[in-house]
């Protein structure tokens, strides 16, 4: 780093003096107990408060609901108890129950389930029994009758199952589920306050998440250790490693010069605009993780080469570039179905619940204009929220040009670095598609591919482990690992679902349960949850509730596809916290950002983005309508 570092003074025991501690930042900070006591006390208070009835209902749904639904399906389909079913009949009820939870109510969805899908959701299935289950559903039920059974199964779980009617082990399970929701909500308050105040080092918050979940009885000691090494965590780690390899070889300098050398006026604002114009549309088709990791070393390089003896440090410039990269990645994900899991999840809900088959081209033509509008809006917001002292990056570009001239032509290490990266990029694009087609024998996952690329850099002699050790922010790796567990626990315990349902139920008497008000509440709620958990689970928590309400008040109208797309778009508004999205975590690894820097742009952009969605719906979508559907 080219930052000027304040000299740290130590006392006789080897600790920083009180005066020095005032200026410590990031990982150098000690725990601030004056602030830390607030999240701790709030956590304890929430855990001790009695659970509201709505929380008990959700706890019952999540812990007793699957059993009740399978019992209903066993009786309805076969006239037998669950314990009396043979293997293929049991498999049928298990697949239908899992489909019901996912909102996949169409008969076609059942017939598409194969052994890979069953294995993913821990349902034991062999070819013979799966074939019998498919044949039974295919021959015995019409599409309408199957959908009717699935809707009745959902009603059993969400409406007919009452906590007051439970006894014995079922009541005990419901109480356990309620406790888990309450612990998850208390943990959410604790984590958000810790992130906002930085009262303890942020990676320590990630470890607190695991400890809370384990001591709260939500996961076991074995599960908590496994959760810290998810595929997403491996991706963050591998991405930071390949960024280090780019810096080590100088590839980042060559890419940077190619991108910005032709600018007549290399002002920081125009360079940032070029980044937005490149990154945001690409994020609709390419992983935002990969884009953030690719542009991180470029942003760092631009900043470091802009510093001079007269201006040895310009934090505002660094923050502008880093936040700009993250925001560009975040706003682009809704432009096409391939931009994120949230888009595909909502398209599936729409088709399964209402039979509307939304195509890739349709989605893109409706949603890409939102991305195009958000590019100048977000760029403008970033440029007015950060005021760098250095604005002319011309000297930096000339310095880069001089360094590249000294390098000469592309050397073998640079070529190897680019080739390995392109192979990684190909793997990210194809690993899921080709696995589903049967072309790949195993599903690698983007994390495994990223780590494999990092190992390939070592084997090719592009970099050493010392480069990874010194240039990768390992605190960010642990931080994002904790964020993954945090989001999953909100989803798996039902805490996110309880929050979504409670808010929508509370606002319904105020007339917010139909039309544009419903869409506004739905978008705002999704945009809040997506800052606390992954975008897919956020959309999955809110989407079914909103779509069910929309189907009641606006049946057979364009409101249904519109609220589907707006929910997916709102789930990309993770602007506020480091843990909101992988791009946020990746740029934090630069070392130039503090949690409050995300809020400087994130808070106004959160409101602006929600306004732009509603404007898009009211002006563009309503004017265009939806083929074959009436307006609302």
**Distances in whole angstroms, Cα of residue 449 to Cα of each of 207, 333, 527:** 26, 21, 30
The residue-averaged pLDDT of 543-558 equals: 78
Q: At what angle do helices 87-102 and 143-155 cross, to 10 degrees?
A: 70
What's the pLDDT at 384? 95
pLDDT surpassing 90 at residue 336: no
- Residue 544 has a pLDDT of 78
Q: Are 60 and 166 in contact (CB under 8 A)?
A: yes
- Contact between 21 and 34 (Cβ < 8 Å): no
Q: What is the pLDDT of residue 103?
A: 74
Which pLDDT score, from 0 to 100, does residue 11 have?
64
Contacts of 220 (CB under 8 A, 6+ apart): 214
Same domain, 151 and 242: no
Q: Is residue 286 part of a domain?
A: yes
pLDDT of residue 372: 95
pLDDT at residue 406 in the model? 82
Percentage of the chain beyond pLDDT 90 is 40
CA distances from 515 to 238, 433, 617 (A): 45, 37, 11
Is 602 part of a structural domain of the chain? Answer: no
> How confident is residue 6, by pLDDT bands cut at 50, 70 and 90?
very low
445 inside domain: yes
Under a CB-based contact definition with an 8 Å cutoff, are residues 138 and 92 in contact? no
pLDDT 10s digits, 107-118: 988 998 999 889
Residue 94 inside a domain? The answer is: yes
Average pLDDT, the chain: 86
The pair phi, psi for residue 68, each rounded to 5°, is -65, -40
User: Per-residue b/e over 213-248, b at no fewer than 16 CB within 10 Å?
Assistant: bbebebbeeeebeebbebbbbbbbbbbbbbbbbbbb
- The predicted pLDDT at position 608 comes to 95
Residues 6 or more apart whose CB falls under 8 angstroms from that of 55 comprise 178, 181, 182, 498
> Partners of 630 in the beta sheet?
557
User: Based on the number of CB atoms within 10 Å of its own CB, is 357 exposed (0-12), middle (13-18) or buried (19 or more)?
Assistant: exposed
pLDDT at 9: 64
Clarify whether residues 262 and 362 are in a common domain: yes
Lowest-confidence segment of 214-218, 467-471, 616-620, 624-628 by average pLDDT:
624-628
pLDDT of residue 55: 95
Structure tokens at 263: 């600018």
Tell me: do 141 and 253 sit in the same domain.
Answer: no
Quick check: 139 pLDDT over 50? yes
Quick one: 151 and 248 in the same domain? no
Q: How many residues does the chain have?
A: 632
Instruction: Tell whether the model's pLDDT for residue 528 goes beyond 70.
Output: yes
Alpha carbon distance 292, 514 (integer Å) = 38
Same domain for 299 and 405, yes or no, is yes
* pLDDT score for 281: 92
pLDDT digits (tens, 9 = 90+) for 396-406: 888 788 888 88
How far apart are alpha carbons 61 and 494 in whole angstroms? 9
How much is the CA Rg of the chain, to the nearest whole Å? 26
- Of 15-19, 306-310, 356-360, 423-427, the range with the lowest mean pLDDT is 15-19
CA separation (Å) from 358 to 190, 337, 460, 539?
40, 10, 45, 17
Mean pLDDT of 610-623: 92
CA distance 245 to 465: 10
**Residue 28 DSSP SS3:** helix
In a domain, 170, yes or no: no
- What pLDDT does residue 17 have? 65
pLDDT band at 581 (very low <50, low <70, confident <90, very high): confident
Asked if residue 212 belongs to a domain, the reply is no
**Measuring CA to CA, which residue among 564, 560, 602 is closest to residue 583?**
602
Nearest to 376 by CA among 250, 299, 269: 269
**Predicted confidence (pLDDT) per residue in 125-134, tens digit:** 999 999 999 9
Predicted pLDDT of residue 315:
92
Q: What is the largest CA-CA distance in the chain?
A: 84
Residue 392 to residue 267: CA distance in whole angstroms: 5
- The answer on pLDDT for 269 being more than 60 is yes
Domain stops at, among 472, 487, 511: 472
Q: 242 and 156: one domain?
A: no
Are residues 335 and 246 located together in one domain of the fold?
yes
Tell me: do 320 and 461 sit in the same domain. yes
Number of CB atoms found within 10 A of residue 112's CB: 12
Q: pLDDT tens digits for 476-514? A: 888 878 887 887 888 889 888 898 888 878 887 887 777
Q: Are 589 and 609 in contact (CB under 8 A)?
A: no
Eight-state DSSP code of residue 554: S
Whether residue 111 is found in the same domain as residue 242: no
Which domain range does residue 108 map to?
65-160
Query: Which of 36-50, 72-86, 342-356, 578-592 bottoms out in mean pLDDT, i.e. has the lowest?
Result: 342-356
Q: Are 118 and 257 in a shared domain?
A: no
Q: Is 591 contained in some domain? A: no
Considering its fold, how many domains does the chain have in total? 2
**pLDDT (mean) for 511-530:** 86
pLDDT tens digit sequence for 163-206: 998 889 999 999 999 999 999 999 999 988 888 888 898 889 88
Closest CA to 349 of 527, 577, 101: 101
Domain end marker among 126, 160, 194? 160
What is the rounded distance in angstroms from the CA atom of residue 580 to the CA atom of residue 530?
Answer: 7
pLDDT of 355 higher than 60? yes
User: With bands split at pLDDT 50, 70 and 90, how would you rate the model's confidence at 13?
Assistant: low
Q: 450, 472, 494 — which closes off a domain?
A: 472
- Whether pLDDT at 2 is above 60: no
Non-local (6+) Cβ contacts of 482 within 8 A are 203, 205, 206, 207, 208, 209, 210, 228, 579
Contact 582, 480 (CB under 8 A): yes
pLDDT of 378 > 80? The answer is yes
Compute the distance between CA of residue 191 and CA of residue 208 in angstroms, rounded to an integer: 9
Is 206:550 a contact under the CB 8 Å cutoff?
no
Is residue 117 located within the same domain as residue 246? no
Give the separation between CA 527 and CA 524, rounded to whole angstroms: 5
Q: Where residue 3 falls among pLDDT bands split at 50, 70, 90?
A: very low
Task: Report angle CA 443, 447, 448 to the nearest 5 degrees.
Answer: 60
Please indicate, yes or no, whether residues 278 and 397 belong to a single structural domain of this protein: yes
Average pLDDT score over residue span 307-321: 90
Per-residue confidence at 4, pLDDT binned at 50, 70, 90? very low
In a domain, 528, yes or no: no
As a whole number of angstroms, the distance between CA 577 and CA 600 comes to 11
């Amino acid at each position: 780093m080219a930052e000027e570092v304040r000299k740290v003074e130590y006392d006789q025991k080897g600790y920083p003096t009180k005066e020095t501690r005032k200026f410590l930042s990031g990982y150098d900070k000690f725990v601030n107990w004056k602030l830390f006591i607030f999240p701790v006390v709030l956590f304890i208070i929430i855990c001790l408060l009695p659970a509201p009835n709505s929380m008990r209902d959700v706890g019952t749904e999540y812990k007793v609901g699957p059993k009740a639904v399978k019992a209903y399906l066993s009786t309805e389909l076969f006239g037998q108890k669950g314990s009396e079913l043979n293997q293929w009949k049991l498999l049928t009820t298990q697949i239908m129950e899992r489909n019901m939870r996912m909102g996949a109510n169409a008969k076609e969805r059942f017939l598409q389930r194969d052994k890979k899908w069953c294995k993913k959701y821990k349902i034991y299935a062999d070819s013979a029994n799966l074939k019998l289950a498919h044949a039974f559903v295919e021959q015995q039920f019409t599409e309408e009758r199957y959908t009717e059974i699935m809707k009745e199964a959902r009603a059993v779980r969400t409406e007919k199952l009452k906590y007051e009617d439970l006894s014995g082990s079922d009541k005990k399970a419901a109480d356990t589920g309620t406790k888990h929701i309450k612990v998850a909500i208390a943990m959410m308050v604790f984590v958000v306050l810790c992130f906002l105040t930085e009262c303890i080092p942020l990676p320590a918050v990630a470890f607190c998440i695991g400890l809370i979940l384990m001591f709260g009885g939500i996961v076991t000691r074995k599960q908590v250790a496994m959760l810290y090494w998810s595929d997403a965590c491996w991706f963050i780690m591998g991405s930071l490693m390949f960024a280090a390899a780019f810096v080590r070889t100088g590839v980042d300098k060559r890419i940077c010069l190619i991108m910005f050398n032709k600018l007549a006026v290399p002002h920081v604002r125009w360079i940032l605009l070029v980044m937005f114009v490149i990154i945001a549309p690409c994020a609709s088709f390419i992983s935002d993780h990969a884009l953030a990791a690719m542009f991180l070393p470029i942003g760092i390089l631009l900043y470091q080469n802009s510093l001079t003896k007269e201006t040895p440090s310009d934090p505002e410039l660094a923050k502008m570039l880093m936040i700009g990269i993250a925001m560009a990645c975040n706003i682009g994900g809704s432009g096409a179905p391939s931009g994120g899991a949230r888009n595909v999840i909502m398209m599936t809900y729409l088709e399964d619940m209402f039979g509307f088959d939304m195509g890739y081209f349709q989605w893109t033509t409706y949603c890409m204009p939102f991305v195009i509008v958000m590019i100048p809006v977000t760029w403008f917001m970033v440029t007015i929220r950060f005021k760098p002292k250095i604005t002319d990056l011309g000297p930096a570009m000339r310095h880069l040009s001089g360094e590249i001239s000294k390098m000469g032509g592309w050397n073998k290490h640079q070529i190897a670095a680019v080739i390995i990266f392109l192979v990684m990029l190909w793997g990210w694009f194809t690993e899921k598609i080709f696995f589903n087609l049967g072309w790949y024998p195993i599903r690698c996952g983007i994390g495994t591919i990223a780590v494999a690329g990092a190992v390939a850099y070592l084997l090719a002699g592009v970099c050493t482990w010392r480069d990874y050790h010194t240039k990768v922010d390992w605190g960010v790796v642990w931080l994002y690992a904790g964020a993954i567990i945090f989001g999953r626990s909100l989803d798996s315990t039902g805490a996110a679902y309880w929050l979504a349902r409670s808010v929508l139920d509370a606002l319904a008497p105020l007339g917010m349960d139909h039309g544009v008000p419903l869409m506004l509440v739905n978008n705002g709620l999704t945009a809040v949850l997506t800052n606390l958990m992954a975008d897919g689970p956020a959309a999955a928590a809110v989407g079914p509730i909103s779509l069910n309400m929309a189907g009641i008040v606006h049946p057979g109208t364009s409101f249904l596809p519109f609220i589907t797309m707006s929910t997916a778009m709102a789930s990309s508004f993770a602007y506020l916290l480091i843990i909101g999205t992988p791009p946020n975590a990746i740029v934090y690894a630069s070392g130039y950002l503090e949690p409050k820097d995300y809020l400087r742009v994130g808070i106004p952009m959160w409101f602006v983005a929600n306004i732009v969605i509603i404007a898009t719906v009211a002006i563009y979508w309503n004017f265009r309508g939806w083929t074959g559907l009436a307006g609302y």
